[in-house]
């Protein structure tokens, strides 16, 4: 699968300063969260990727990107630092948009992580129990440690 999206670039100016250079020519780790600025997403999922950022860079990763689908107000704050997907367009095209009405959240991203090499998805880690209105919030497959282990094994395999 080839990924395309837009990234905020204040140097462009205007109301929508974005350009489509997020995955091309780079090695990117992207992980998606169901709730930006929520305890599990921000305090556990996001923070562990931040703690291990230097290790990702040492393994040749150019960018680590966090993605969330939330309302416009949350996405405005999230978009100052992370990748907002307020309308869920990217997430829908990835097949990862789920309804979370049982939690009062509406449409959100399912929790997942992926490694993208020059626009091509090489590996995805999708949390189990993918479904609308899932009664649990699994967090075991898309974590930073799982992604780092994959990248280390990938690097070892390439050296052989």
Please tell me what DSSP assigns to residue 34: S
DSSP per residue, 13-25? -SS--EES-SSTT
| Active-site residue identified among 3, 41, 92, 134 | 41
Q: Is 134 designated active site?
A: no
Better-predicted residue by pLDDT, 144 or 73: 144
Residue 79: φ, ψ to 5°: -65, -15
- The pTM score is 0.77
Helix (H) / strand (E) element for 32: namely strand 27-33
| Cβ pair 23, 4 in contact under 8 A | yes
d(CA 25, CA 119): 7
Report how far apart the first and last C-alpha atoms of the chain are (Å, whole number): 26
Question: What are the residue boundaries of the structural domains of the chain, listed by start?
Answer: 22-159
**Most confident option among 10-19, 74-83, 91-100, 123-132:** 123-132
Q: 3-47 pLDDT, tens per residue?
A: 444 455 555 455 544 445 678 889 999 988 877 666 666 667 888
CATH superfamily of 22-159: Glutaredoxin (3.40.30.10)
């Amino acid at each position: 699968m080839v990924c395309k999206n837009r990234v905020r670039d204040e140097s462009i100016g205007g109301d929508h300063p974005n350009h489509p250079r997020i995955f091309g020519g780079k090695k990117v780790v992207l992980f998606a969260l169901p709730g930006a600025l929520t305890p599990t997403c921000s305090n556990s999922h996001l923070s562990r990727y931040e703690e291990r950022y230097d290790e990702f860079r040492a393994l040749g990763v150019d960018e680590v990107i966090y993605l969330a689908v939330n309302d416009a107000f949350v996405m405005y704050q999230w978009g100052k630092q992370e990748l907002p997907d307020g309308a869920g367009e990217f997430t829908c095209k990835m097949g990862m948009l789920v309804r979370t009405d049982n939690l009062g959240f509406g449409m959100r991203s399912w929790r997942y992580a992926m490694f993208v090499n020059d626009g091509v998805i090489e590996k995805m880690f999708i949390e189990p129990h993918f479904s609308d209105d899932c009664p649990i919030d699994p967090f075991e497959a898309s974590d930073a440690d799982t992604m780092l282990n994959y990248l280390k094994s990938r690097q070892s395999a390439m050296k052989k």
